[in-house]
């Protein structure tokens, strides 16, 4: 008997996967698999387990195509592998079901549009950086304000927590902690 198998993915542990899992269950997924890894990573144990579990006639359900793969090349590879095994892809957001010829065509069109969009964004970003440099501006993250950092370190030495010191001088907490760790590493070892 064919199964509807759900697959969910988030990029970082602080992102909530429960919304995807609930949508998949509501759509009829009888079993779900998930990963907490960046889409750029090809090693996904949850997806691998799903592929091992899936049988001919099953359907792999995702909330959105970008949860399955970040690039058109990767999506096509996964869908081709599933097709060879007789497993269909169902994407809830894009309303795609590759078990039909029309659904497969729509999948390819959506995948190509998504790839096109990503390339356009990258080109616009490169053009914006080039234009900013031509105008004498240096795009990107501003340099670290050494005076603020020194002030934060003085506050920490006087007993304030690194988090409160960072907030008081307007720096990121991780910046202060990183500098504290670097200053500890830079100190000579005592006998």
Rounded distance, CA 168 to CA 36, Å?
A: 34
Structure-token match 């690039």, residue found: 71
pTM: predicted TM-score of the whole model, two decimal places: 0.58
State the catalytic residue, choosing from 11, 38, 91, 158.
11
Cα–Cα distances in angstroms (integers) from residue 178 to residues 64, 167, 187, in the given order: 37, 15, 15
Task: Name every residue whose Cβ is closer than 8 Å to that of residue 100 and which is 6 or more positions away in sequence.
Answer: none
Please say if the pLDDT value at position 159 is more than 70: yes
In sequence order, the 6+-apart residues with CB closer than 8 A to the CB of 46 are 7, 9, 33, 34, 35
**11 a catalytic residue:** yes
* CATH architecture of the domain with range 4-114: 3-Layer(aba) Sandwich (3.40)
Q: Where are the domains of the chain?
A: 4-114, 146-186
Confidence of residue 68 (pLDDT cuts 50, 70, 90): confident
- pLDDT, tens digit, 9 for 90 and up, residues 19-45: 999 999 999 999 999 998 875 666 889
The model's confidence at residue 74, banded by pLDDT at 50, 70 and 90, is confident
């Amino acid at each position: 008997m064919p199964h509807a198998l759900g697959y969910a993915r988030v990029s970082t542990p602080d992102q909530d996967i429960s919304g995807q899992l609930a949508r998949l269950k509501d759509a009829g997924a009888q079993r779900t698999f998930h990963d907490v890894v960046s889409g750029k990573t090809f090693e996904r144990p949850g997806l691998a387990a799903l592929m091992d579990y899936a049988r001919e006639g099953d359907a792999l359900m995702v909330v959105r195509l970008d949860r399955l793969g970040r690039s058109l090349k990767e999506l096509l590879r996964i869908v081709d592998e599933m097709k060879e095994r007789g497993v269909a892809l169902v994407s809830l957001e894009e309303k795609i079901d590759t078990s039909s010829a029309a659904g497969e065509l729509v999948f390819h069109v959506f995948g190509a549009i998504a790839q096109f969009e990503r390339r356009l964004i990258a080109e616009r970003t490169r053009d914006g950086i080039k234009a900013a440099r031509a105008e004498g501006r240096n795009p990107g993250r501003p340099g670290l304000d050494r005076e603020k950092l020194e002030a934060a370190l003085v506050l920490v030495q006087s007993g304030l927590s690194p988090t409160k010191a960072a907030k008081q001088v307007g720096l990121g907490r991780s910046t202060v902690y990183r500098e504290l760790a670097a200053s500890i590493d830079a100190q000579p070892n005592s006998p």
